[in-house]
Amino acid sequence: MRLDNRVALITGAGRGIGRAIAEHYAREGARVAVADLDQATADEVVAAIEARGGEAMALVMDVTSEQAVSDGVAAIVKRWGSLDIALANAGVQHIDPIHKLAYQDWLKVIDVHLNGAFLVTRAALQEMYKGGGGTMLYMGSVHSMEASPLKSPYVAAKHGLAGLCRAVAKEGAQHGVRSNLICPGFVRTPLVEKQIPEQAQELGISEEAVIKDVMLKHTVDGEFTSLLDVSELAVHLAAFPSAALTGQSMIVSHGWHMQ
Ligand SMILES: NC(=O)c1ccc[n+]([C@@H]2O[C@H](COP(=O)([O-])OP(=O)(O)OC[C@H]3O[C@@H](n4cnc5c(N)ncnc54)[C@H](O)[C@@H]3O)[C@@H](O)[C@H]2O)c1
């Protein structure tokens, strides 16, 4: 298995993409800390992993809380002795045009994606440096590379994660830490399901048109990216054997945005 004996922290892993990666990591032999705001969903993911013979622990962690993040990382190290992989995945979306966007809504999105990723990075690096290395991963998006209307704080935060990832790659190298950004296209998770009617209303078009003409318009085949597609990339980046692959942003999007 590709992640045998590795200890991984995944934030926002109670559902959606984070959950799928947690389950895939466990299938690949990792011990997985499933961190989320909500104890019940984190417990459910742990139960699903354990039912298949994997090892996991649930952590209630708001990534915007310094205390919650450092307590969570301490709990992982107490239980399993190290932290080898950390994926800052927790995220929220907010749909509004910039001229109507409330400052609070701007702050909230930036806080969860970017400030949360910083807190997870700082706590994780302290353990990885002690242990002689590790892998930092960030859940970016095609919106780390380009913009769409109505999503300004999300686009700004996802671009910011590319910068954080590169900074970690530079600083982490001498401590054996690699850092990469995963950039999915649209995946049908609760985060995306919620946006479909919101965007339809804001743009004055049907929900079918939001899917076909907005979300999937620039893919090569009109297909959503799947949870397995994103999970496979997350395993590949965590398992990669050397610092040949660090500081990079990898797009998994059915061809939407080619570099
Ligand atoms: N779904 C997509 O199409 C898509 C595409 C590109 C990138 N992404 C990114 O993937 C990540 C996961 O998105 P998803 O689609 O699975 O969303 P989702 O809404 O299904 O899941 C997000 C999870 O994050 C958790 N979360 C939210 N705020 C948190 C906080 N402060 N602390 C801890 N956990 C928190 C939620 O409880 C939830 O379990 C996000 O960073 C998102 O931006 C999603």
CA atoms within 13 A on the CB side of 200: 13
Q: How does pLDDT run across 131-187, given as a tens digit for each residue?
A: 999 999 999 999 999 999 999 999 999 999 999 999 999 999 999 999 999 999 999
Q: Is the CB of 18 under 6 A from ligand 1?
A: yes
Contact 150, 202 (CB under 8 A): yes
Question: Which pTM was predicted?
Answer: 0.98
Q: How many CB atoms lie within 10 A of CB 4?
A: 10
Name all domains of the chain by residue range, CATH numbers in brackets: 7-186+225-252 (3.40.50.720)
Kindly state the average pLDDT of the residues 192-216: 95
Could you confirm whether 154 is annotated as catalytic? yes
Interior/surface letters 85-119, b for 16+ CB within 10 angstroms, e for the rest: bbbbbbbbbbbbeeeebeeebbeebbbbbbbbbbb
Report d(CA 57, CA 9) in Å as an integer: 10
Kindly give the distance from the C-alpha atom of residue 88 to the centroid of ligand 1, in angstroms, as a whole number: 10
Determine the residue of 110, 189, 214, 233 to mutate for testing ligand 1's pocket, defined as the one with the most ligand atoms within 8 A of the Cβ atom. Answer: 189
Tell me what pLDDT residue 188 has. 97
- Six token digits for residue 29: 């032999």
